[in-house]
Structure formats: C-alpha cells, structure tokens
Amino acid sequence: MTTNGGISPQDAKYALETRDMHVYYGSFRAVKHINLNVERQKITALIGPSGCGKSTVLRSFNRMNELVPSARVEGKVFFHGKNLYDSNVDPVEVRRRIGMVFQKPNPFPKSIYDNIAFGPRINGWQGTKADMDNLVEQSLRASVLWDEVKDKLKESGLSLSGGQQQRLCIARALAIEPEVILMDEPCSALDPISTLKIEELMFELRRQYTIVIVTHNMQQASRASDNTAFFLMDNDRAGTLVEYGPTEQLFTNPQDKRTEDYISGRFG
C-alpha cells in the first residue's frame, strides 16, 4: 500500500482533515466550506438538523459519494497528509482503509460467517481456514455479538434482529482492519439497549480506531463522543459547519448562539 499514489501512514494528530470542501449533487451545493479535523483514536460526532449534509460529509471521507453519479467533491480531504481526491488515489484503497457502517443494517444475504469473511476474502486474504475462523470470532467478539450467534454462524445474516444485524455490519467492517470507521446513524433503527451496547462498543473500539459517527441523538453525542461538529443549513440551503470542538465544551458552553438553540432543543 505504499506505492507512489498510495497513502502512507503517518503519526499525525489528525486522521482526516478537510480543506474548504464543497459537495455538489448536480448543480445543487449540498455542503460548503467544510474545514474539519478528525482526531486520531477519538470519537467525532456529527450533529445537526435533517438535510444539513451530515451524511454527505461522512461519505466524502471514504469517497462513497462517487456511487451517486451526479455527486462531485471540491476541495481537499487529507488522510495521513495525502489528499484522498488526488487523481492517483484509488477509491478501493480508501474504502479498504476507511470502513463504513450504514444507517440501515445491510447484511449480505449470506451466512453470518460469510458476511464477515467476505471483506477479507475480496481484499486478498492469505490465511488458512483456521485463521479465518479466528478472525470471524475476533470480529464478532469485538462487536459484542459473539455470544448471541456463536452456535449459528451458518445461518443467514438476515435471520438476526435489527440490532444484531447492525452489530454484524460493524463486525464486518472491523474484519478488514480499517484505520477509520465511519458510522451513519448506526443506532437509528435500534432499541435503547442495543444502542447502549453499540455505544459501549464504540468506546472499546476507540483504542484502536478513529471513529466518526453521525447521530440525531443529543444524549448519544454528548455521552459517547470526544469531539462534536455541529452543522446547519445556510440561507442558500447548503450545509455549513457552524461549530466544532470538544464535546464537553460544545454542550456546556457553546460559542455560537445557533448551537445553543439546537442543543437545547429550541429548533431543528
């Protein structure tokens, strides 16, 4: 992964840095002037009202926006000092190193085992069957699902409950050992208990991974993140970054009036 065009790891403070980023869908500018530094091995929460461009920003971190034919990203996103949008960066490598968990659980219609083994396999996995068994177990343990599914690894991933499916998707993302994990409202379809489980899981994962999470849940953002970014739609309907800082500070002592209004539930 250290070819000329590739991204080489560096011990910087930030895992991801955007520089004056704009994202367009066709001629519509969905977000503008985003300057956001995501700290390594921290949990960064993106909050803001519906439609303000949180998912759009999140997807620009692993070039998933490219799957929308009309989408276009302007500006720069640095990952370990390398601009992800340079012409010599392969989006496949980006997604291999920056994993993603989606808002709606989307396991493959395959067995639980194969759901997790798929990522390593397509990324050129070299190990033995026993190694793979081990990797599957480790991933499921890491996502706190192992005890619930250890006896039915051959059953369909779709046979699980919604919360279990979401944890399966997290395990699947962990199995390819990414450096950053992006989560788009991973708990929006879950009950409070599953939500708590996933939050505990995120704290666990923070030791190794950098996590960016989109959430609509203020409590979740305040109790489960280190830094918080607040987005809002501007008059031209483009999303902007209003305030960004340590979660504690943003929730107790917001610098911007609009942030204060939002977190105290006065609008949005």
Partner 1 sequence: MSSVSQTGNTSSGMPTDEAMHRNIAQRRQRGRIWQGVLFASTTIGMLVLVILLATIINESFGLIAVQSTVDPATIADRPLEELSKEELIVILEDNLKRRVYQRLEREQPLAERDQAALLEIVRVEVVQEEVVGSWPLNETLFNRAAIEAEVAEEFPRAEIQFRSWINPDFLTNPMSSVPALAGVRTALLGTLWMIGITILFAFPIGVGAAIYLEEYATDTWYNRIIQTNIANLAGVPSIIYGMLGLAIFVRAFEPLTSGTLFGLTDPTTANGRTILSAGLTMGLLILPVIIIAAQESIRAVPNSLRQASYGLGATKWQTIWNHVLPGAMPGILTGTILSVSRAIGETAPLIVVGASTFIVTDPDGPFSKFTALPIQIYNWTARPQDQFRDIAAAAIIVLLIVLLTLNAIAVLLRDYIRKRRSI
Ligand X SMILES: Nc1ncnc2c1ncn2[C@@H]1O[C@H](COP(=O)(O)OP(=O)(O)OP(=O)(O)O)[C@@H](O)[C@H]1O
Closest separation between CB of residue 26 and ligand X, Å? 7
Closest CB to ligand X among residues 208, 222: 222
Which one of 36, 46, 47, 64 is in contact with partner 1 (CB under 8 A)? 64
Closest CB to ligand X among residues 38, 145: 38
Rounded to a whole number, what is the distance in angstroms from the first to the last CA of the chain? Answer: 43
Per CB under 8 A, contacts with partner 1 among 111-130 are 111, 118-119, 122-123
Closest separation between CB of residue 79 and ligand X, Å? 20
53 binds ligand X (CB under 6 A): yes
Residue 52: name its binding partner from partner 1, ligand X, Mg ion, none (Cβ under 5 to 8 Å by kind).
ligand X
Which one of 16, 43, 52, 213 is in contact with ligand X (CB under 6 A)? 52
Q: Quick check: 206 and 222 in contact, CB under 8 A?
A: no
Residue 119: name its binding partner from Mg ion, partner 1, ligand X, none (Cβ under 5 to 8 Å by kind).
partner 1
Q: Quick check: 82 and 1 in contact, CB under 8 A?
A: no
Binding mask 30-69 for Mg ion (x = CB under 5 A): -------------------------x--------------
Q: Residue holding tokens 């640095």?
A: 78
Closest CB to ligand X among residues 12, 218: 218
18 binds ligand X (CB under 6 A): no
Closest CB to partner 1 among residues 213, 238: 213
**Site residues for partner 1 per CB under 8 A:** 62, 64, 67, 69, 92-93, 95-97, 99-100, 102, 104, 106-111, 118-119, 122-123, 154-156, 158, 169, 172-173, 176
